[in-house]
Amino acid sequence: MNKQNEKIKKVYLSPNLEKENCLEYTKKACEILANNGCAVFADESLKDLFEGIVFGKTEELLPQCDIILVSGGDGTILKHAKKYSAYDKAILGLNCGRLGFMATLEHDELHLLKKLCDGSYRISERMLIQADVTSSGEKKTFTALNDIVFMKSEGCKIADFCVTKEDAVVSSLRADGLIFSTPTGATAYSLSAGGPLIEPEMQCIEFTQICPHSLFARTMIFTPDSSLNVTFSSKGSGKVILTVDGVDEMHITESDSVQISKAHGSVKLVDITGNSFHNSISKKLMTPMKGV
């Protein structure tokens, strides 16, 4: 079921203690790891909360560790995946939130942590996308693991969007906004806007419209080497907000240029439960429909 990998010996701990029960679950995880011969490291800011852990500065400890254990919700994993991407470490997500599609371990599955120590896990590699924004001659680049969203701002009644690929118009429509997502992000905002489910290890760019004023608007899937240009017109009624993984980054004007493409690098997620994506879909999306 699981691919045999190197045995994990050192784990870096990164909990979101604002999440309910996160401290309790994280302490249990540390105990299980220690009992299976795995050393746990954490930032010195946590030294008053945990025992039996090596504390120090993050930038000094992370390079020594094999993986990062992030306890929290999907938002926590999104934040840490990009924060620690420069270290090229795989992330194991312990779900302390609600849905937790990127967190491959639930709090009642903590006993499975012993699989890290014997190599019985697999690495799921996820692609990233980026938005290159050119505004007033300056270029800014934003990277997303989930999605890049164009949303009309307050005061903007509706916007006319145009998406082109190699100068060919692929979509021209009036809508509240646009969503460009990775396969990982297909279970997030795009799904709520009517987009399809996509296996997260696929390589593609998903494009979904938000409340389009059309009877025929549908999600489109582009190859990972696609470069998509986005423009809009609000007829002077307002600006558009660029949101990256749920965080408002900047306002876009009609004169700005925005290109969406696959980003360099990837995010690696540890899966120790086996087929965690399909299990999550069944348990967290299909169960309400089944009446279970």
For residue 252, the domain's CATH number is 2.60.200.30
What pLDDT shows up at residue 6? 86
> Do 221 and 256 reside in the same domain of the chain?
yes
Q: Point out the least confidently predicted range of 63-67, 236-240, 276-280.
A: 276-280
Q: How far apart are CA 147 and CA 246, in angstroms?
A: 8
> Do 56 and 22 reside in the same domain of the chain?
yes
How distant, in Å, are the alpha carbons of 11, 109, 149 from that of 73? 19, 15, 21
> Do 102 and 159 reside in the same domain of the chain?
no
Give the number of domains in the chain.
2
Mean pLDDT of 182-201: 93
> Do 212 and 151 reside in the same domain of the chain?
yes
pLDDT band, very low/low/confident/very high, at 205 (cuts 50, 70, 90): very high
> Do 281 and 244 reside in the same domain of the chain?
no
Catalytic residue among 43, 74, 147, 245: 74
Which comes out higher in pLDDT, residue 103 or 155? Answer: 103
> Do 109 and 166 reside in the same domain of the chain?
no
What pLDDT shows up at residue 196? 94
Whether 213 is in a domain gets the answer yes
Whether 3 is in a domain gets the answer no
Whether 65 is in a domain gets the answer yes
pLDDT band, very low/low/confident/very high, at 99 (cuts 50, 70, 90): low
Give the list of residues 6+ apart from residue 146 with CB closer than 8 angstroms, or none: 78, 181, 182, 184, 185, 188, 189, 245, 246
> Do 26 and 110 reside in the same domain of the chain?
yes
> Do 135 and 250 reside in the same domain of the chain?
yes
Q: How far apart are CA 69 and CA 117, in angstroms?
A: 14
CATH of the domain at 277: 3.40.50.10330
What pLDDT shows up at residue 273? 82
> Do 139 and 57 reside in the same domain of the chain?
no
Q: Where are the beta strands (DSSP E) in 63-121?
A: 67-72, 90-95, 105-106
Which comes out higher in pLDDT, residue 24 or 1? Answer: 24
Mean pLDDT of 209-228: 93
Residue pLDDT, tens place only, 15-35: 999 988 999 999 999 999 999
- By residue count, the chain amounts to 292
Mean pLDDT for the chain? 89
Which comes out higher in pLDDT, residue 119 or 249? Answer: 119
What pLDDT shows up at residue 291? 46
Q: Cα dihedral sign for 251, 256, 261, 262?
A: negative
In the annotation, is 74 catalytic? Answer: yes
Mean pLDDT of 231-240: 78
> Do 167 and 95 reside in the same domain of the chain?
no
Q: Point out the least confidently predicted range of 169-178, 200-209, 216-225, 266-275.
A: 266-275
Q: 218: domain range?
A: 128-265
Which comes out higher in pLDDT, residue 50 or 6? Answer: 50
Each residue of 107-127: b (16+ CB within 10 Å) or e? beebebbbbbbeebbbebebb
What pLDDT shows up at residue 101? 73
Cβ-in-10-Å burial (0-12, 13-18, 19+) of 281 comes to: middle
Mean pLDDT of 88-93: 93
> Do 143 and 244 reside in the same domain of the chain?
yes
Whether 4 is in a domain gets the answer no
pLDDT band, very low/low/confident/very high, at 85 (cuts 50, 70, 90): confident
Whether 5 is in a domain gets the answer no
Is the model's pLDDT at 183 over the cut of 60?
yes
Q: How far apart are CA 92 and CA 111, in angstroms?
A: 14
Whether 1 is in a domain gets the answer no
> Do 157 and 80 reside in the same domain of the chain?
no
Residue pLDDT, tens place only, 133-153: 998 889 999 999 999 999 987
Whether 207 is in a domain gets the answer yes
What pLDDT shows up at residue 128? 96
Q: Cα dihedral sign for 191, 195, 198, 202?
A: negative
Whether 29 is in a domain gets the answer yes
